[in-house]
Structure 1
Amino acid sequence: MSWPTPIDLLGAAAGILTTASFVPQVLKTLRSGQTRDISLAMWLAFCTGVALWTIYGLLLGAWPIVAANIPTLVLAGTILVLKIRNLRKE
């Protein structure tokens, strides 16, 4: 196993920051249960894009892409699931 390159570290830092930015929104949504003002189309498109980025990273063997996008997909997917559940309740 080789040490990460500076480019890998840059990708990892970008991934950590962008992924962490979802945590406050997920926590707020879980606490309030409120998803009325969240766009279903946007979250569907976003989750699909993140899933595609994950696949792309896997195909390239690019660990920073994969490592950043898997937790992002989990966080964004949580909001998407809550949004869909709330739509069914209406």
Structure 2
Amino acid sequence: MNSIEIVGLVAGGLTTASFVPQVYKTYKSKSTDSLSLTMLIVFFIGIILWLIYGIYVNSIAMMLTNSITAVLSFILIYFKLRLK
């Protein structure tokens, strides 16, 4: 793993970690009123496209972090649809 891949891994890790508090808060409060379903869906599609791109360019950092972010954003979409 080269130094630029490490930068990508750290950047992706921080971006991914930013979703953890929102997932936790939503789970604990059982409230999704402040979450926009449209934003979550558009974001999820974007993350899936980044994941596909990461696979195409064979970037471990992009594949790993976007896989985790996709799961976290999917959980928020699930909560948004389920906790109405």
Gaps of 5+ in 1: none
TM-score (norm 1): 0.89
Q: Which secondary structure does the structure 2 equivalent of 1:37 belong to?
A: coil
The one-letter code sitting in structure 1 at the alignment partner of 2:71 is V
CA apart distance, 1:66: 0.6
Based on CA coordinates, which of the two structures has the bigger radius of gyration?
1
Q: Which secondary structure does the structure 1 equivalent of 2:83 belong to?
A: helix
Distance 2:12 2:69 in 1: 9
Partner of residue 10, structure 1 = 7
Distance 2:43 2:81 in 1: 15
TM-score (norm 2): 0.95
Partner of residue 28, structure 1 = 25
State the Cα RMSD in Å: 0.8
CA apart distance, 1:47: 0.4
Gaps of 5+ in 2: none
